[in-house]
Amino acid sequence: SIEAVRTVAKRVRRFDRPDAYTCYNVDLTRQLRYCLETDTPAGPDRSVRDLRTVRLDFPGHESGVESLPRLSVDGDRIDSSPRGVVEGVRAALDERDPDVLVVSTADLVPLLFEAADAYDVDLELGRRPGYTKLAGESTYTSYGNVGHSPARYAVPGRVIVDESNSFFYHESGLEGCLDLVKRSGLPLQELGWASIGRVLTAMQIREARNRDVLVPWRAWRPELFKPASTLDDADRGGTTFAPDAGVHEDVHELDFASLYPNII
């Protein structure tokens, strides 16, 4: 099974002999692996019809079932009671049958199911019952800053795009995400929360497989020794901008989101 791949890889790693044993094609999500191994396009077949979307907005500072009346569907408030909101969401999904759920925060997923259980309402956010928690919330450190990564959820038969955790959706919308799905081979939901680095890695993995090249797992390849003159020749320099705090005139802005892939 897919789960056995990582289990075997971890056992091999315990041998502590990376020079003798190397694992390949391990660190792939099941969705990406399926698309790669079956030559299945990651993007939807839009020749059949365009994607249908429904947007669920909920204030990020709110929490608890009693706050559900603040929820809106495609910009419209539903009801003044939590029970009415759950029933309204169910009716909207039944009527529009969306392929993609764009949520302002993924916390809505367990919150809606919690309310459905409390008020004995039969709710399906997907095309089948239930939902799956893919990853819990966590913190991370990047360039000296500590960030927060929210929990991620999935429902059967529909894509969830968490706007609060999607750099690409925020920058380019659904069309931009679908373009990157085609380029990278990452399924839409996975691309929604991915970083630019992960997208570029997916492109490299797909190209490697097309060339019948194995992708090492946690590659163990220390940098070779080299003379200082080689490092000096390779050093292109760098500048860290630390402007003085205050009011400035004639300020110019660089679009980092567009430049980043070209910089790499």
16-52 pLDDT per residue, tens: 776 677 888 888 888 888 888 888 888 888 877 888 9
CA distance 165 to 107: 11
Domain count, the chain: 2
What are the phi and psi torsion angles at 210 (to 5°)? -65, -25
137 in a domain, yes or no? yes
Residue that is last in its domain, among 146, 165, 184? 165
- CA dist 107 → 11, 20, 91, 140 (Å): 35, 45, 20, 19
Q: Strands (DSSP E) along the chain, which ranges?
A: 53-57, 72-73, 76-77, 100-103, 132-135, 138-142, 145-149, 152-154, 159-162
Top-confidence residue, 97 or 151: 97
Q: How many residues does this entry show for the chain?
A: 264
110 in a domain, yes or no? yes
192 in a domain, yes or no? no
219 in a domain, yes or no? no
Share the mean pLDDT of the chain.
84
pLDDT score of 240: 65
- Give the pLDDT confidence of 194-205 residue by residue, as tens digits: 888 889 889 999
Residues 76, 158, single domain; the answer is yes
**Residue span of the structural domain in which 102 resides:** 53-165
